[in-house]
Chains A and B, each alone.
Chain A
Amino acid sequence: MLTPEQEGLMAQFRAYLEESATSTMGASRGDAEHVERKTVDLYTLFGELAALKNEVRIESRQLKTALEQFRGLVEPLQTGNAALRSEIDRMHEDRRDVAQEALRPVLLELLDIRDRMAAGLEMATDKRATKHLFKRMCHKEWEVMEAWREGQEMTLRRLDQTLAARQVHPINVVGQPLDPRWSRALRVEWHKGMAEGVVVAELRKGFFWGEALLRPAEVVVNKREG
């Protein structure tokens, strides 16, 4: 099977032969003896044909070598490109990791502040506490206290929104069976009517950061002691 390049060369050669045959025929009219000498020299013709064939073979071999060399250059270039691409991806990933790692302690500190605010607010909203305070306060003071509590509630809500915007979400564990993947049991208590192994209280709220755990919940688990 000839390659297109070889076919092209063969066509050129055929055209050359035909042309030379035509000119030979023209010349025969003028110099028959000379023509006869040219046409009979079949040995030379086949010799030249063989030489030409050989030249075609050499050229196609050179072409093949050139193609291989080209391919040889393309492959490392492609490998280099792939390596560069993966290096860029890794750099992006590293940069993301570094940014995340830098953000982690800030988020944890924010959660600590949130814990403290929530603890204060919980006390302020505790019915027993308010009832107790209410007895001692005049109406005006009570209103001031309520306004202050509402303000605190709003601040806490804002903080929760800020955290949520960064994919930080609380883990709901109370009433669920203890899941040690994101809850750490610090103590046990026994509450009749509740299943064993269920979280009865949170000593500290846990949070996810996107899919990953940012801070485990610290919990009290229902269990009959002894």
Chain B
Amino acid sequence: MIKEVVIGIDLGTTNSEVAIFNEGRVEVIPDAQGRKILPSFVGIAEDGSILVGEEARNQYVVFPERTIRSIKRRMGESERVVMAGQHYLPQEISAMILKRLKEIAEGHLGQTIRQAVITVPAYFSDAQRQATREAGEIAGLQVLRMINEPTAAALVYEAGQQEGKKILVYDLGGGTFDVSVVRIEQGVVEVISSHGDNHLGGDDFDEKIVEHVLAHVQEKQGVDIRNSPHAMARIRRAAEAAKRYLSDHPYARIEEEYLLELKGKPVHLSLELSRDAYEEMITPFIDRTLEAVHIALQGSKLTASDVESILLVGGATRTPLVVKRLEEIFGLRPRGEVDPDLCVAMGASIQAASVQGQKVSAVLVDVTPYTFGVSAFGELYGMPSPDMFVPVIHKNTPIPTHKSEVFYTMVENQKHVEVKVYQGENLDARKNRLIGEFMVEGLGPAPEHSPVVMRMDLDADGMLHVAATEKQTGLSKRISISGALEKLDESAMQGARKRLEGLFGATEGDDLQDMRQEVVMARALLEKAERMLDKASPEDQEEMINLMEEIRQALTDGEHAALKQPCDELSEILFYLES
């Protein structure tokens, strides 16, 4: 007898996906062309047939009157939408998407599907949820459960989690942003609070790069290419490719030869975009998402230090600035190892299996269990040191992977760069495992702060290739390290610790993890104080401002010991204000 399969569906505003949980593994089901993502577009073709997905999207620009997009925004409304002269309820349009997903699953599994678990945003009202349920029924699916999208994401990472845990789910898609604080306990996920912005996403990042390129061409060539559809189409593609490239590398070169013709002469585009410049462009967008994060935290009555895990959902979270800013606020490295585009559908399939009584577990991805990086000159224990550990490939990154980071020379006309490669997590490189070292010699004459790009390629067999390249000249040196994923045995680790203690003595308070915790607590306190400043009396306000300034100064100076007193005093005032 064939077992009844329950599918998990992520019915998204921009894209939708379907997944199944089978024999302990989650599979996102591709269509016949191998595509796992179905654009949430529905249309009517010239011959009256229904188009769903890519095909409907392809005709949208020409036939918007017979194509519907983003119907999810209309769910729960009683007003009908018009498509090709016919009136449809929003749930009827959604049903067409669900039906297509059902067919994809049936084609793949070779059996009829009757039941599903569908995800909805945490903020969906009862009417919107009811409309989604109806959409499922119209599509011939019995909706066994409807779960919140952040719940689905939490299940992907934490299914089977027994102990209570507070998690922040940061979901930045192509055109929408949602953030939720959830609590998971004994396998049950509860959304405590959520907030979002319906018109913010990775498409805005693309647009910023496009504007940057247009301004560059205008400046260099004196030509406005907005009127050339051909050139604009190429620039949009190049902008998106550059955005993706900058997720893993510090520089992206945007090159489009024969972009257009000007007075009989071909115009080429060649522009380098640094990650720094790109991050500056998108900072206002990230700031907006972080404001929403604070509002969600406020709604959950938690502070940043209460959050134990951060999960990344949505393709735009691959942007390193997102990870960096969240890490700064929470002192935790966000997790994004499960494909953020498919994560919600996977969670829905885990819930579906759970409903059927199957034993479920978190999704397992091949990741590196260690961080790999190099030592560089920086601040360590509040002092300048050549042993600051700078990660290049972070722990929990799916493998195989390749990442690059940029470093800078220390002095003018520096002749060589010594590269020491470490495996470990400690900010002090000497406390990590040295797995390789090499020297790049013969650097060209260049001013100080000339960039050197460090690239690391790690494959699934634990082979790590490290290359250092002087950006200006292309001079490069590389090494390959085998067995990079092997664990340093405890005796060797003890030996390393002892050697270090021999050098520095058993110093008190050199545990950087503890130090990090203090910093996070102080930042959280500052954030809370800023929020409550308006509620305080003028006298309290003055005192609070002084204390906040003192804390900020201690943080800037790296004087962690000086944090305790002002933090305690500020906490006391806040307690008084809250009570």
B61 near A180: Cβ-Cβ < 8 Å: no
Asked if A197 CB lies within 8 Å of chain B CBs, one says yes
Would you call A186 and B229 a contact (CB within 8 A)? yes
Would you call A203 and B59 a contact (CB within 8 A)?
A: no
Within 8 A of A (CB), among B233-248: 233
Per-residue CB contact flags for chain A residues 113-131 toward chain B (1 = under 8 Å, else 0) read 0001001101100101100
Among B54, B57, B58, B258: residue with most chain A CB under 10 A:
B58
Q: Which residues of A contact B (CB under 8 A)?
A: 101, 116, 119-120, 122-123, 126, 128-129, 132-133, 177-178, 180-181, 183-188, 197, 201, 203-204, 212-213, 216, 218, 220-221, 223
Q: Which residue of A lies closest to B259 (CB)?
A: A119
List B contacts of A133 (CB < 8 A). 264
Query: A116-B257, A204-B233, A218-B233 in contact; A180/B264 too (CB < 8 A)?
Result: no
B263 close to chain A: CB less than 8 A: yes
B233 touches A203 (CB 8 A): yes
User: Which A-chain residue is minimally distant from B267 (CB atoms)?
Assistant: A123
> Which residues of chain B are near A186, meaning CB under 8 Å?
61, 229, 233
Interface string of B181-221 (1 = CB under 8 A from A): 00000000000000000000000000000000000000000
Evaluate whether A185 and B258 lie within 8 angstroms (CB atoms) in the complex, with A132-B263, A218-B233 already known.
no
Mask: chain B, 44-60; 1 = CB below 8 Å from A; 0 = not: 01100001001111111
Given contacts A133-B264, A185-B58, A216-B54, 10 further A-B contacts (CB under 8 A): A123-B261, A132-B263, A180-B56, A183-B58, A184-B57, A185-B61, A185-B62, A188-B62, A197-B62, A221-B62
Cβ-defined contact, B261 with A180, below 8 A: no
For residue B230, give the distance in angstroms from its CB to the closest CB of chain A.
5
Contact B45 A187 (CB under 8 A): no
Question: A128 near B58 (CB under 8 angstroms)?
Answer: no
User: Which A residues lie within 8 Å of B56 (CB)?
Assistant: 180
Expressed in whole angstroms, the Cα–Cα distance for A181 and B51 within the complex equals: 9
A216 to B60 Cα, complex, angstroms: 15
Q: Which of B43, B56, B59, B257 has the most CB of A within 10 A?
A: B59
Cα–Cα, bound, A181→B45 (Å): 10
- Number of inter-chain CB pairs below 8 Å: 65
| A218 → chain B closest CB, angstroms | 6
- Complex interface: chain B residues within 8 A of A223 (CB): 62
Least CB separation from A217: chain B residue: B58
A120 touches B257 (CB 8 A): yes
From known contacts A178-B59, A188-B61, A197-B46, infer whether A126 and B229 are also in contact, taking CB-CB under 8 Å: no
Size of chain B's interface in residues, with CB distance under 8 A? 26
Report the Cα distance A213→B34, complex, angstroms.
Answer: 11
Q: List 7 A-B contacts (CB under 8 A).
A: A123-B258, A181-B55, A183-B58, A187-B229, A197-B46, A204-B233, A220-B229
Closest residue to B266 on the A side, CB-wise? A123
Q: Are A180 and B59 in contact (CB under 8 A)?
A: yes
Does B556 lie at the interface of the complex (its beta carbon under 8 Å from any beta carbon of A)? no
Q: Which residue of chain A lies nearest to B230 when distances are taken between CB atoms in the complex?
A: A203
Within the assembled complex, what's the spacing in Å between the Cα atoms of A25 and B263? 132
A158 to chain B minimum Cβ distance, whole angstroms, is 19
Within 8 Å of chain A (Cβ to Cβ): is B86?
no
Complex CA gap A134/B59 in Å reads 42
Decide if B33 is an interface residue (CB 8 Å cutoff). Answer: yes
A101 to B34, CA, bound (A): 9
With a cutoff of 8 Å between Cβ atoms, the chain B residues found around residue A180 in the complex are: 43, 45, 51, 55-56, 58-59
Query: What CA separation (Å) do A212 and B56 show in the bound complex?
Result: 18
Q: Which residue of B lies closest to A112 (CB)?
A: B237
Nearest-Cβ distance from residue B279 to partner chain A, whole angstroms: 27
Residues of A with C-beta under 8 A to B259:
119
A213 touches B33 (CB 8 A): yes
Task: Report, nearest first, the 10 A-B pairs whose CB atoms are least far apart.
Answer: A132-B264, A180-B58, A119-B258, A180-B59, A184-B58, A203-B233, A120-B258, A185-B62, A180-B55, A185-B61
Q: A186-B229, A187-B229 are in contact. Are A178 and B62 (CB under 8 A)?
A: yes
Give bound CA distance, A203 to B264, whole Å.
20
Query: Whole-angstrom distance from the CB of A7 to the nearest CB of chain B?
Result: 46
Residue on A nearest B236 in the bound complex, by CB = A186
CB distance A177 to B46 under 8 Å?
yes
Most buried by A among B51, B263, B266: B266
Q: Which of B43, B60, B233, B261 contacts A126 (CB 8 A)?
A: B261
B239 to nearest A CB, angstroms? 15
* Docked CA distance A180–B47 (Å): 12
- B contact residues around A181 at 8 Å (CB): 55, 58
